[in-house]
Amino acid sequence: MEMRQLGNTEMWLTPVGFGAWAIGGGNWAFAWGPQDDNASIAAIRKAIDLGVNWIDTAAIYGLGHSETIVGQAVKQSSVKPFVFTKSGMVWDDKRGIRRTLLEIRREVDDSLRRLQLDVIDLYQIHWPVEDQDIEEGWTAMAELKNAGKVRHIGVSNFSVAQLERCLKIAPIASLQPPYSLLNRAVEAEVLPFCVDRGIGVINYSPQVSGLLTGAMTKERVANLPEDDFRRNAKQFQEPVLTRNLALADLLGNIGARRDVSAGVVAIAWTLANPAITAAIVGARSPQQVDGVWPAATYRLTSDEMQEIQSFMDANP
């Protein structure tokens, strides 16, 4: 399998990594609905057994619960993957969430405890909010690296201007942006900037939160649990939902020629961009891991890429 170097770090990653957002479970603002913890641990173990060598989570996922589950799964495994997590979103006793860059030093200790780790491989600022605090937040991140609590530091959802501000303080190992067939905003400026500056890119939501997996239907969208954030997400609403499901059907037809799912094709499309180091792919069960793992080696042909682009041109 091809391994890809993350920016200027010594970490070489599998093309897909395990995304741990959904395994945070329900009962918080950005939940995917209820989740069985045993299934989550089994999914992580399955990914590691297949060869996935990195896991991406965040303190806010499930209000700490995702990190706890990741920590349990990794501790049980004889093979230790890289563990990435994120800071900058905190919560209170009433489960209210706010974004801040001023509590990072406290947050890292909480994450280390939940993950049962002595050091975090990649620690990232989740959102550049509040913008005026970016310099203070990034300074804290650099100090954590110097102190040995984290090996590398990165950011998520940052603009070019915000990346430039951070670079004046300390190098950036990686950027984590959304990137998919339905969200290509970073292509114009952000990805070229990262290539030029040697910043690795691990994209999230390549399957658009399950929308391009081939398993989503209008009926399933209508029956999502009340605490599933996707009920109100723009791409899951008309008038674009019909177009998006038609795209998923096309991806499924392309994948069927080589016995892979629509989701694998969606992930492979993002990995075809040379600016992308690797893609974060969420899973909630071992079966889902099995379904997306072929994306680690599946590559689209130029004709297939053109087939997809023709659909996008005809259905903007």
Active site residues: 61
SS3 assignment for the chain: CCCEECCCCCCEECCEEEECCHHHCCCCCCCECCCCHHHHHHHHHHHHHHCCCEEECCCCCCCCHHHHHHHHHHHHCCCCCEEEEEECEEECCCCCEEECCCCHHHHHHHHHHHHCCCCEEEEEECCCCCHHHHHHHHHHHHHHHHHCCEEEEEEECCCHHHHHHHHCCCCCCEEECECECCECHHHCCHHHHHHHHCCEEEEECCCCCCCCCCCCCHHHHHCCCCCEHHHHCHHHCCCHHHHHHHHHHHHHHHHHCCCCCHHHHHHHHHHCCCCCCEEEEECCCHHHHHHHHHHHCCCCCHHHHHHHHHHHHHCC
